[in-house]
C-alpha cells in the first residue's frame, strides 16, 4: 500500500480564513422538529420525497443562519441532509446490502444493526455534492464539509465480501476521494473526514488507517481535516470514557504519523475531557481545531471557560494555526442548547483574539 504520497505543493494552499482564531463546529447540528425527531441520533425523517428535499434545504438555510447569528466564521451544513454521519454516505454506494442488516459491535463499544458489504464497493453517484452547491449559493463564508473517514466506515458495517478491514477501507477511500473532488469543485473550502475510530484501533491507525485517509485526500487542493474525538455525548460513549482512566493519551499513539501526513488540519476533543494538552505539541506545525465546547452536557459554557481551554491550547499551538471548535457534533442536543454553545464558542474566541491583538501591540510598542 502506498504510504508515501507526494506532498502537495504549498503555494496551492490558500488561507481559508484571514480571521485570527476562526471558529467552526465539528459537524452536525440539531435538526428542526418538523424535519426529524429532535435530540436523537439516527433520527428518522418526518417528510418524504420532494417534501423531504425542500425541508432539508430549509433546514440548511436555518442552520446556516444560526451559525452566522452566533458569529461562526467557517460554516457548514450542520449535516441537515443526513440521518447519520456514516450510513447516509454508505447508502449511496453499490456493493452494500441494506435489506439484511446484522448486529455488530461498533468501535468495541456498542451494538448496532448495520448493513453489510456483499460485493465490490463503488460510488454510484454523488452523495452530498448538490447539498454543497446549495450551501455555497447561500454564503460567501468559508465552508467546511464533513465526510466519514475510511476506517470509521469500515467499522460501521459487516463485511462478507472483502473480509479484510484494510482492503475495505481502501475501497471506501477511493469512493470518498471521488466525492471529495466533486465537493471541492462545488466550492467547499475544507473537507473534513470524521475518524472517531482513530481513538480506538490505535495499531491499525498506524498500520493502514492514515494511509487510507491519505488515499481519500489524494489530489485535493482545498484544505483537508481529520476529526478525531471520543464520540457523541450518548450514554455508550460517556460510559466508555469512564473506563479510560485519569489521562486520555490515545492521541499520543497516532499523532507522530498524523504529523507526517498530508492532512492540513486536525480536529480534536479538548474541553472538559482528560486529554493532556501537552500532546498537542506532537502535531506542532499543523492547524488544529481545538474542541472548546463539551457536547456531552446541556450546560452551556461561559465565554471565559471557552477562553481558558483556548489559552491552554495556545501553549502548544501557534496562534495562526488555532481554530476554535466544538468537541464533536451537536445533533443530539436541543436547538436552544446548541445555539447557546455556538454563541459561547464565538464569545470565548473573541476574548482570546483581543488578548492576542493586545499582546502583539504591546510587543510592537515596546520594540519601537
Ligand atoms: Zn466527533
Going from the Cα of 291 to the center of ligand 1, the distance in angstroms, rounded, reads 10
DSSP 56-114: HHHHHHHHHHHHHHHT-SSB--TTTT-SSTTHHHHTTEEEEEEEEEEEEEETTTEEEEE
Question: For the sheet containing 93-106, what is the strand order?
Answer: 93-106, 110-123, 158-159
Q: How do the domains of the chain map onto residue ranges? A: 12-85+125-367
Q: What is the pLDDT of residue 17?
A: 56
> What pLDDT band is residue 18 in, cutting at 50, 70 and 90?
low
Q: What is the pLDDT of residue 246?
A: 86
> What pLDDT band is residue 292 in, cutting at 50, 70 and 90?
very high
Going from the Cα of 226 to the center of ligand 1, the distance in angstroms, rounded, reads 10
CA distance 268 to 142: 20
- Encode pLDDT of 50-88 as tens digits: 999 999 999 999 999 999 999 999 999 999 999 988 888
Going from the Cα of 195 to the center of ligand 1, the distance in angstroms, rounded, reads 8
Going from the Cα of 75 to the center of ligand 1, the distance in angstroms, rounded, reads 17
Contact between 57 and 134 (Cβ < 8 Å): yes
Going from the Cα of 229 to the center of ligand 1, the distance in angstroms, rounded, reads 5
Going from the Cα of 327 to the center of ligand 1, the distance in angstroms, rounded, reads 6
Kindly tell me if the per-residue pLDDT of 6 is higher than 80: no
Question: What average pLDDT does the structure give for the chain?
Answer: 92
- Encode pLDDT of 99-127 as tens digits: 888 888 888 778 888 889 999 999 999 99
Kindly tell me if the per-residue pLDDT of 234 is higher than 50: yes
**Angle at Cα 204 formed by Cα 200 and Cα 207, nearest 5°?**
150
Going from the Cα of 187 to the center of ligand 1, the distance in angstroms, rounded, reads 24
Going from the Cα of 181 to the center of ligand 1, the distance in angstroms, rounded, reads 23
- Encode pLDDT of 160-207 as tens digits: 999 999 999 999 999 999 999 999 999 999 999 999 999 999 999 999
Provide the residues around ligand 1 (an ion) whose CB is within 5 A.
Answer: 229, 328
CATH no. of 12-85+125-367? 3.20.20.210
Kindly tell me if the per-residue pLDDT of 214 is higher than 90: yes
Q: What is the pLDDT of residue 30?
A: 96
For 256, the grid coordinates are 507522530
Going from the Cα of 267 to the center of ligand 1, the distance in angstroms, rounded, reads 9
What is the percentage of the chain residues whose pLDDT exceeds 70?
A: 95
CA distance 192 to 146: 5
Query: Running DSSP on this structure, what letter comes out for residue 318?
Result: -
Amino acid at each position: 500500500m502506498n504510504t508515501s504520497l507526494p506532498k502537495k505543493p504549498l503555494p496551492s494552499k490558500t488561507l481559508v480564513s484571514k480571521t485570527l482564531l476562526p471558529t467552526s463546529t465539528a459537524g452536525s447540528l440539531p435538526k428542526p422538529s418538523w424535519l426529524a425527531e429532535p435530540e436523537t441520533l439516527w433520527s428518522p425523517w418526518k417528510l418524504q420525497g420532494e417534501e423531504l428535499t425542500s425541508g432539508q434545504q430549509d433546514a440548511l438555510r436555518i442552520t446556516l443562519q444560526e451559525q452566522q447569528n452566533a458569529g461562526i466564521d467557517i460554516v457548514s451544513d450542520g449535516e441537515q441532509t443526513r440521518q447519520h454521519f456514516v450510513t447516509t454516505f454508505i447508502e449511496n454506494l453499490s456493493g452494500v446490502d441494506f435489506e439484511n442488516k446484522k448486529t455488530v459491535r461498533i468501535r468495541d463499544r456498542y451494538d448496532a444493526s448495520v448493513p453489510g458489504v456483499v460485493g465490490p464497493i463503488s460510488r454510484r453517484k454523488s452523495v452530498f455534492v448538490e447539498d454543497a452547491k446549495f450551501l455555497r449559493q447561500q454564503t460567501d463564508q468559508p465552508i467546511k464539509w464533513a465526510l466519514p473517514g475510511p476506517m470509521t466506515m469500515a467499522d460501521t458495517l459487516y463485511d462478507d465480501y472483502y473480509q479484510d478491514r484494510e482492503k475495505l477501507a481502501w475501497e471506501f477511500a477511493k469512493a470518498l476521494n471521488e466525492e471529495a473532488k466533486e465537493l471541492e469543485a462545488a466550492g467547499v473550502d475544507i473537507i473534513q473526514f470524521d475518524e472517531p475510530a482513530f481513538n480506538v484501533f490505535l495499531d491499525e491507525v498506524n498500520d493502514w488507517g492514515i494511509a487510507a485517509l491519505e488515499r481519500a485526500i489524494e489530489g485535493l487542493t482545498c484544505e483537508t481535516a481529520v476529526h478525531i474525538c471520543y464520540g457523541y455525548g450518548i450514554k455508550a460513549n460517556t460510559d466508555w470514557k469512564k473506563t479510560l482512566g485519569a489521562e486520555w493519551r490515545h492521541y499520543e499513539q497516532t499523532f507522530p504519523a498524523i504529523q507526517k501526513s498530508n492532512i492540513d488540519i486536525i480536529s480534536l476533543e479538548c474541553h472538559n475531557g482528560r486529554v493532556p494538552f501537552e500532546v498537542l505539541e506532537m502535531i506542532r506545525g499543523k492547524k488544529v481545531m481545538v474542541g472548546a465546547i463539551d457536547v456531552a452536557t446541556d450546560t452551556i459554557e461561559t465565554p471565559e471557560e471557552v477562553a481558558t481551554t483556548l489559552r491552554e491550547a495556545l501553549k502548544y499551538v501557534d496562534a495562526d494555526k488555532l481554530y476554535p471548535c466544538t468537541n464533536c457534533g451537536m445533533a443530539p442536543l436541543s436547538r436552544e442548547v446548541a445555539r447557546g454553545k455556538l454563541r459561547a464558542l464565538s464569545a470565548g474566541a473573541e476574548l482570546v483574539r483581543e488578548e492576542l491583538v493586545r499582546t502583539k501591540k504591546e510587543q510592537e510598542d515596546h520594540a519601537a
